[in-house]
């Protein structure tokens, strides 16, 4: 894809996002055929957002998440700073076709990870992390049917990013925790609760974090100090409607909450 095609695709997706509208898919003349082309379109978001970006999300790290958007593996997306809602706050009112909340482990980096030829190991990535946070992602898509368009177009659509909430840094020694076995509970006030555990996130949220570091490295992107990475839902995506109050209870790691506007 040339620069004009990339810009055309980015313009269409960004316009749909801002207007709350949908498209069936990107036109054939600017439709990404590969993951790399999808990421090239996604990259142009940085020209339209508050700088620097807040961080990164990983979509489809669980079987439930993959089934939800009909892909067979994870996708990386940018978390836009203006789309981050304060813990306990309210997501702005507006359309959301996905209409789910995702309960996630998030990691904030204390130093940069620079791209390199050899892959990062899990321990190496964790050594660069400064803090862990309970988090909630409210994803969405700019496609009419996000289960039909495939991974390259979903990547171009910022891997279904929309709104994000994180709690304060966990007040405990998180490095001693077995994240694969760690349990979390997602609650919608008055509507029950949903349990999950870290093993649903690529087997371990720490493995998902390393996947993201290596995905960015392969694209020549620095994972920067201060950026937050949310690693994907550890609970089956929870249906939501306007007015719902969603809580992500991670026990000793903290609690995040948000109201759906």
CB 157 within 8 A of CB 143: yes
pLDDT along the chain (261 residues), means of 10: 98 97 97 98 94 94 80 94 98 94 98 98 98 98 95 97 98 97 98 96 97 98 98 95 98 98 96
Q: What is the CATH number of the domain that holds 187?
A: 3.90.850.10
Q: What is the pTM of this model?
A: 0.96
Structural domain including 164 reads: 3-260
Q: Which residues of 131-166 are buried (b: 16+ CB within 10 A; e: fewer)?
A: bbbbbbbbbbbbbeebeebbbbbbbbbbbbbbbbbb
pLDDT digits 0-9 by tens, 117-173? 999 999 999 999 999 999 999 999 999 999 999 999 999 999 999 999 999 999 999
Name the DSSP class of 234: S
Name the DSSP class of 237: P
pLDDT digits 0-9 by tens, 98-125? 999 999 999 999 999 999 999 999 999 9
Question: Kindly report the CA angle at 57 between 52 and 63, in degrees rounded to 5?
Answer: 175
Helices (H), the chain: 3-19, 35-43, 63-69, 122-127, 151-156, 205-218
d(CA 206, CA 211): 9
Total structural domains in the chain? 1
- Rounded to 10 deg, the angle between the 35-43 and 3-19 helix axes is 70
Name the DSSP class of 139: -
The pLDDT value recorded for residue 17 is: 97
d(CA 73, CA 32): 17
């Amino acid at each position: 894809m040339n620069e004009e095609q990339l810009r055309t695709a980015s313009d269409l997706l960004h316009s749909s996002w801002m207007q709350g509208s949908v498209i069936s898919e990107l036109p054939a003349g600017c439709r990404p055929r590969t993951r790399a082309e999808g990421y090239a379109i996604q990259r142009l978001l940085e020209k339209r957002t508050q700088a620097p970006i807040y961080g990164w999300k990983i979509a489809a790290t669980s079987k439930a998440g993959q089934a939800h958007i009909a892909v067979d593996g994870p996708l990386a997306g940018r978390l836009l700073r203006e789309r981050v809602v304060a813990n306990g706050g309210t997501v702005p009112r507006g359309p959301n076709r996905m209409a789910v909340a995702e309960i996630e482990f998030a990691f904030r980096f204390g130093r940069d990870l620079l791209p390199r030829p050899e892959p990062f190991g899990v321990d190496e990535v964790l050594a660069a992390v400064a803090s862990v946070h309970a988090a909630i992602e409210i994803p969405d898509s700019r496609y009419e049917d996000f289960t039909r368009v495939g991974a390259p177009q979903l990547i171009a659509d910022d891997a279904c990013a929309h709104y994000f909430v994180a709690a304060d840094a966990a007040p405990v020694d998180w490095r001693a925790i077995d994240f694969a076995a760690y349990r979390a509970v997602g609650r919608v006030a008055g509507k029950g609760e949903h349990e999950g555990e870290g093993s649903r996130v690529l087997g371990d949220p720490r493995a998902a974090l390393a996947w993201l570091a290596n995905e960015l490295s392969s694209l020549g992107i620095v994972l920067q100090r201060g950026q937050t990475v949310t690693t994907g839902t550890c609970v089956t995506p929870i249906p939501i409607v306007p007015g719902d109050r969603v809580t992500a209870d991670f026990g000793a790691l903290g609690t995040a909450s948000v109201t759906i506007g």
